[in-house]
């Protein structure tokens, strides 16, 4: 594990339970600036919960999360301020259905950052342009394809200029032919140096894009390493089993 001077993210002994169910059982993870990490693991292994905890969408039960040098799990931290610096994209897009694309994207810059309307509009258009969505600016989410909706959701998350992006199985709700356009966007973000934590079931994509792959199993970060090692020579028996199931399902 690379121990950079000021990691983008540092997680220590993170615990999270829902009632009596312990979903995260002591996670330690460091993410360096500009690093792309893929989280893999079976459904229910804690990938989504981990991402939601980092964005403070779930209260944690123990341990600490430090984002860009600030301990966000400390008491009295302004959660709204923390979330501004982190972008999260959800499996189900979660666009605001009563707002046009451009309003979805400019809401946070205008209301949270206080960016003047005209400037927010300009910046949003620039982002939409960059991801091939400029002609959709006045459409409502329900009129877009799943792939377009997810790209808008990514643009919306980028609009507050986060330094860390969390992607929670962003292609799982998409028809297969729409997956590529969303993965393309993520690749572009990676190429631009965005620090990202990506929970995914797309193993081929993970192998391509990740600097490091982390395997979560029952709330424990069981194994991590460069994609070549994890995918071709996993050390842990659970990792081997998981990957074997993926191969059997024809998904690697």
Partner 1 sequence: MTDAPSSAGDRRSRILGGGGGAGRNVAVALVSTAVVFTALGLLVVNSSGWEEVRQKFLNGEEFRTWFPDVLSAFWLDVKIFCVAEVVILAFALGIAVLRSLPGPVFFPIRALAIVYTDIFRGVPTILVVYILGFGVPGLQLSGVSTDPVIWGTVALVLVYSAYVAEVYRAGIESVHPSQEAAARSLGLSRWQALRFVILPQAVRRVVPPLLNDFIGLQKDTALVALIGPVEAFRQADIGANADFNYTPYFCAAVLFVAVTVPLARFTDWLIARDRRRQQGGRAA
Q: Does 94 bind partner 1 (CB under 8 A)?
A: yes
Which residues, in sequence order, are CB contacts of 142 under 8 Å at separation 6+?
A: 97
Q: Considering only residues 7, 9, 45, 90, which one is a binding residue for partner 1 as defined by CB under 8 A?
A: 90
SS (H, E, C) the chain: CCCCCCCCEEEEEEEEEECCEEEEEEEEEEECCCCEEEEECCCCCCHHHHHHHHCCCCCCCEEEEEECCEECCCCCCCHHHHHHCEEEECCCCCCCCCCCHHHHHHHHHHHCCCCCHHHHHHHHHHHHHHCCCHHHCCCCHHHCCHHHHHHHHHHHHHCCCCCEEEEECCCCCCCHHHHHHHHHHHHHHHHCCCEEEEECCCHHHHHHHCCEEEEEECCEEEEEECHHHHHHCCCCHHHHHHHHHHHHCCCC
Q: Which span (31-39, 156-164, 190-198, 242-250) binds partner 1, by CB under 8 A?
A: 156-164
Instruction: Determine, following the binding rule CB under 8 A, whether residue 122 of this chain makes contact with partner 1.
Output: no
User: Which of 102, 108, 183, 194 contacts partner 1 by CB under 8 A?
Assistant: 108
Under rule CB under 8 A, residue 252 binds partner 1: no
Residue among 57, 218, 220, 252 that touches partner 1 (CB under 8 A): 57
Site string for partner 1, 35-54 (x = CB under 8 A): -----------------x--
Give the residue, chosen from 63, 64, 140, 207, that forms a contact with partner 1 under the rule CB under 8 A.
140
Note whether 107 binds partner 1 by CB under 8 A: yes
Nearer of residues 181 and 223 to partner 1, judged by Cβ: 181
Minimum distance, C-beta of residue 5 to partner 1, in the bound complex (Å): 27
From the list 9-17, 31-39, 89-97, 228-236, the region that binds partner 1 by CB under 8 A is 89-97
Asked if 160 interacts with partner 1 (CB under 8 A), we say yes
**Interface with partner 1, residue 55, by CB under 8 A:** yes
Residues 69, 14 contacting (CB under 8 angstroms): no
Residues near partner 1 (CB under 8 A) are 52, 55, 57, 79-81, 83-84, 86-88, 90, 92, 94-98, 107-108, 111-113, 139-140, 142-145, 156-157, 159-160
């Amino acid at each position: 594990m690379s121990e950079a001077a000021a990691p983008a993210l540092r997680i220590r002994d993170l615990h999270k339970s829902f009632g009596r169910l312990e979903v995260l059982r002591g996670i330690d993870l460091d993410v360096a600036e500009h690093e792309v990490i893929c989280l893999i693991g079976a459904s229910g292994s804690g990938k989504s919960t981990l991402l939601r905890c980092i964005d403070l969408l779930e209260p944690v039960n123990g341990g600490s999360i430090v984002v860009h040098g600030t301990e966000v799990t400390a008491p009295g931290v302004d959660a709204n301020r923390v979330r501004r610096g982190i972008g999260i994209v959800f499996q189900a897009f979660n666009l605001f259905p009563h707002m046009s694309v451009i309003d979805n994207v400019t809401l946070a810059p205008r209301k949270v950052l206080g960016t003047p309307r005209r400037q927010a509009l300009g910046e949003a258009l620039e982002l939409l342009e960059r991801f091939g969505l400029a002609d959709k600016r006045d459409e409502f989410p329900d009129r877009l394809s799943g792939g377009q909706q997810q790209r808008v959701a990514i643009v919306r998350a980028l609009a507050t200029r986060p330094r860390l992006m969390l992607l929670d199985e962003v292609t799982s709700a998409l028809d297969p032919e729409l997956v590529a356009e969303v993965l393309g966007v993520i690749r572009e973000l990676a190429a631009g140096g965005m620090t990202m934590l990506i929970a995914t079931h797309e193993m081929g994509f993970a192998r391509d894009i990740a600097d490091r792959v982390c395997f979560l199993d029952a709330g424990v970060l069981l194994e991590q390493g460069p994609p070549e090692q994890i995918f071709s020579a996993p050390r842990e028996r659970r990792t081997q089993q998981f990957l074997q199931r993926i191969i059997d399902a024809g998904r690697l």
